[in-house]
Amino acid sequence: MNDRVQTLDTSGLGYGVPAAQRNKVLRNTYWLLALSLIPTVLGAWLGVATGITRSLSGGLGLIVFLGGAFGFIYAIQKTKDSAAGVPVLLGFTFFMGLMLSRLIAMVLGFKNGPELVMTAFGGTAGVFFVMASLSSVIKRDLSGMGKWLFVGALAIMIGAIINVFVGSTAGMMAISMMAIGVFSAYMLYDLKRIIDGGETNYISATLALYLDVINVFQSLLMLLGIMGGERD
C-alpha cells in the first residue's frame, strides 16, 4: 500500500503504474513512432512513383480509406498484446503513406512543391516537440480533455466526408485549420496519458500518437498547398 501511494506521489497522477514502467512505455513508444515513419515514407513514395492511388478520388477514395483505416485499427487493437502487433501497426503506417501519396503528388505538382512538403514536415516536427515538452512539465490531470477532443475529431471527420462531395476550398481550409488545432491538442493529451500511466501498451500509444502526427502533417500540407502553391 505504501509503495502504491509513493508511486502516485512521484508522478502527480500515476494510475498506480511505477515510474520505471511509464518511462519504458514512453521510450518504446518514441522508438516505434520513429520506426513507423519509414513504412509511411515508403508507401508515399510508392504511391507518388506509380500513381496507384490516382484513381481513388471522391466517394471511392473515401470508402477505401475508411475501410482500410478502421480495419487496420481494429486489427492493431486485437494484436497489441502479441508479437503480431508491431508488424500490423507498420502495415497500417504503410497504408497511410499510400493514402497520403495523392495529396503529396498534388503538392509536388507545384513549382515549390518540395519546399512545401519539407515545410509541412518541419512544422509537424515542431508541433510534436512543443507538445512533448509541455507534456513533461504540466502537472495537472488532462484526462478531462479527452471527451472534448473526441467531439472535435468527430466533427472534423464528418466535415471532411461532407466536403469530399461538396468540394469547397474554403471548407477544406477551415477543416484543415481545425484539424491542426485538435490533433495538436491530442498529441499533448496522448503523451500526458503515457507519462501519467494512463496508457501502458506502447503499441496502442504509438497508434494514437501516429494518428495525431499524420493528421497534423496532412492538414498542414493541405493548407500550404492551397495558400502557398506556385504554379509554373
For the chain, what percent of residues have pLDDT higher than 70? 91
Give the model's pLDDT for residue 58: 66
Task: Please state the φ and ψ torsions of residue 61, each to the nearest 5 degrees.
Answer: -60, -40
Give the model's pLDDT for residue 55: 74
Give the model's pLDDT for residue 183: 96
CA angle, corner 185, sides to 119 and 170, nearest 5? 60
Please give the DSSP secondary-structure letter assigned to residue 12: S
List, for residues 180-207, the tens digit of each pLDDT value.
999 999 999 999 999 988 888 999 999 9
Does the global pTM surpass 0.75?
yes
What average pLDDT does the chain have? 87
Q: Structural domain tally of the chain?
A: 1
Residue entry with cell 511509464: 22
Tell whether the model's pLDDT for residue 7 goes beyond 60. Answer: no
pLDDT band at 22 (very low <50, low <70, confident <90, very high): confident
Give the model's pLDDT for residue 142: 84
Task: Please state the φ and ψ torsions of residue 55, each to the nearest 5 degrees.
Answer: -85, -5
Give the model's pLDDT for residue 18: 76
Give the model's pLDDT for residue 201: 93
Give the model's pLDDT for residue 232: 64
pLDDT band at 3 (very low <50, low <70, confident <90, very high): very low
C-beta separation of 171 from 213 below 8 A: no
Give the up-direction half-sphere exposure of residue 223: CA atoms within 13 A in the CB hemisphere: 20
How far is the C-alpha of 198 from the C-alpha of 21, rounded, in Å? 12
Give the model's pLDDT for residue 6: 33
Segment 162-168 long-range contacts (CB within 8 Å, at least 24 positions apart): 164/58, 164/59, 164/61, 164/62, 165/58, 165/59
How far is the C-alpha of 103 from the C-alpha of 189, rounded, in Å? 27
List, for residues 71-117, the tens digit of each pLDDT value.
999 999 999 998 899 999 999 999 999 999 999 999 998 888 899 99
Tell whether the model's pLDDT for residue 32 goes beyond 50. Answer: yes
pLDDT band at 140 (very low <50, low <70, confident <90, very high): confident
Please give the DSSP secondary-structure letter assigned to residue 1: -
How far is the C-alpha of 8 from the C-alpha of 173, rounded, in Å? 43
C-beta separation of 104 from 117 below 8 A: yes
Domain housing 222:
2-228
How far is the C-alpha of 208 from the C-alpha of 80, rounded, in Å? 13
